[in-house]
A and B are shown apart, each in its own frame.
Chain A
């Protein structure tokens, strides 16, 4: 790990009387996998939405690679190297998985530049290579609306990775995925991201996933960061276990 890649200082945002961000201070270090855990409504997705320009905080600062990104549009932030995936996969449902990936590849280099076919050899090859890394070549020609949840999640993340981000923010990458395939998917995902040297921040409810893949864990509670540290430290903290994980003693379990 090297320097700070994403830095949030004093982020504040309230929806009516509900404080979704109440003075968030967080530095994401380049190269790390940072997990965000916490109960529903704690403001985890809000943090991702603020960092990607979808929501504008009412106070505070956000910078990426030393450059202020607060107030920029999602488009501008993506172009600076911040990608995201979604809790509900945002695939183009009239397109195949390959076309979805190719659109993402094309968007990176010259979406508007030429009237060349979307599946021209160079874009097609890069899209297929990407799908291969994610283990999706078998469903490359399947329409996105015919996929199961696990495949939809991976395809959604693959589209974000196609943009070659330096930082990828993932909102619950394993939610809705069958327990039997969850660890395999995360394993593949972690390999792809580490190979591509992508820094990752992911919101996660499964503590087994967090314990296995996160370098650091941030605990969100009522719009604040209640605790921040290594998985060993955080997941064995009695307060975190009681308030977030929902158990008093014993090993780590998936939260509801």
Chain B
């Protein structure tokens, strides 16, 4: 029953995003970025199921975004840039994951942070290649062979992001219900038992890690093609912290939570920054504090409570 309930809520959320974008076109940019971040946070959620928090997943967002920026001059089409950026992040996730899944808890989190900061430093220091903190501009890509004018292009990317978000949420739900997904909670509670069942806990975690890198890569590619300007800040530790922040805000109990969290985060940030320029971080921090204190299940938990459902 919860699946049907989730499907209805997901459909309502997608409709609300499209309606908001239609009514206020200036929101298209914000909602596209929010949807992209929601996809990245969905990957974080998979790792949270295993009790592991990554403080370095902006690495994959930035890696994909820079892949898009480097490839754009020669392959300037969303249909090519998006999959190539995402696959590049997934490949990096496989390499990094093979190393970090040997560690747990704080070591896992900090190793991810350290590796993301190494990449951030490279982006910043290798000026001749990356243009340092100036970043790289991405010219307006074609959309599946079509040269769209800017407004139509922004709509096309938003719809693409929403389609990917729904596909990723459906996949994550199926994955979490499978033995592999259930194995993630098993890692959190009795990892040794998995080994004595003939199952490699590292392989279970690695599979989730690679999927999470792929999702972060999709997010990075969408962000690069939306903002059309990539800078090292995409890989900075605060960007990774933001993803964890959104995961807690949205709630880790369901696959819609990351998207609720991301949309709420971006909207609060935009409106708070516009209304209280010097205090938007205070407002965001207070929001998170309230969620942690009074709604442990995050926004998704609140939605379930309000609609009389249990996770």
Point out residues on A near B: beta carbons under 8 Å: 52, 73-75, 78-79, 83-84, 90-95, 99, 102-104, 106-108, 111-112, 114-118, 159-160, 163
How far apart are the CA atoms of A207 and B196 in the complex, in Å? 28
Indicate if the CB atoms of B195 and A94 lie closer than 8 Å: no
Neighbour of B179 across the interface among A75, A93, A118, CB < 8 A: A118
Complex CA–CA separation, A91 to B197 (angstroms): 12
Q: Is B183's beta carbon under 8 Å from chain A? A: yes
Task: Report the Cα distance A106→B271, complex, angstroms.
Answer: 49
Given A92-B190, A94-B188, A95-B185, A118 and B196 contact (CB-CB distance below 8 Å): no
Chain A residues whose C-beta falls within 8 Å of the C-beta of B197 in the assembled complex: 78, 103-104, 107, 159, 163
CB distance from A187 to the nearest CB of B (A): 25
B interface vs A, CB < 8 Å? Answer: 174-175, 177-180, 182-183, 185-186, 188-190, 192-200, 203, 207
CB <8 Å contact, B189 and A93? yes
Q: Is the CB of A107 within 8 A of B198?
A: yes
- Say which residue of B178, B195, B196, B198 sits within 8 Å of A115 (CB atoms): B178
CB within 8 Å for A118 and B182 given contacts A90-B192, A91-B193: yes
Say whether B198 contacts A103, CB under 8 Å.
Answer: no
Contact assessment for A74 and B189 in the assembled complex, using a CB-CB cutoff below 8 Å: no
23 examples of A-B residue contacts, CB within 8 angstroms: A52-B196, A74-B196, A75-B195, A78-B195, A78-B196, A90-B196, A91-B190, A92-B186, A92-B193, A99-B182, A102-B179, A103-B179, A104-B197, A106-B179, A111-B179, A111-B199, A112-B179, A112-B207, A115-B174, A116-B178, A117-B174, A118-B178, A159-B197
Q: How far is the CB of A112 from chain B (nearest CB, A)?
A: 6
Contact present for A95 and B182 (CB under 8 Å)? yes
Q: How far is the CA of A93 from the CA of B198 in the complex (A)?
A: 19
Bound Cα distance from A116 to B182, whole angstroms: 11
Question: A115 to B186, Cβ gap below 8 A?
Answer: no
Question: Contacts A99-B182, A114-B178 given: A84-B190 contact, CB under 8 Å?
Answer: no
Contacts of A104 in B (CB 8 A): 197
In the complex, the answer to whether B203 meets A78 with C-beta atoms within 8 Å is no
Give the CA-CA distance A99 to B208 in the complex, in Å: 20
Given known contacts A75-B199, A78-B196, A79-B198, A107 and B190 CB-to-CB distance under 8 angstroms? no
Q: In the complex, which residues of chain A have a beta carbon less than 8 angstroms from the beta carbon of B192?
A: 90
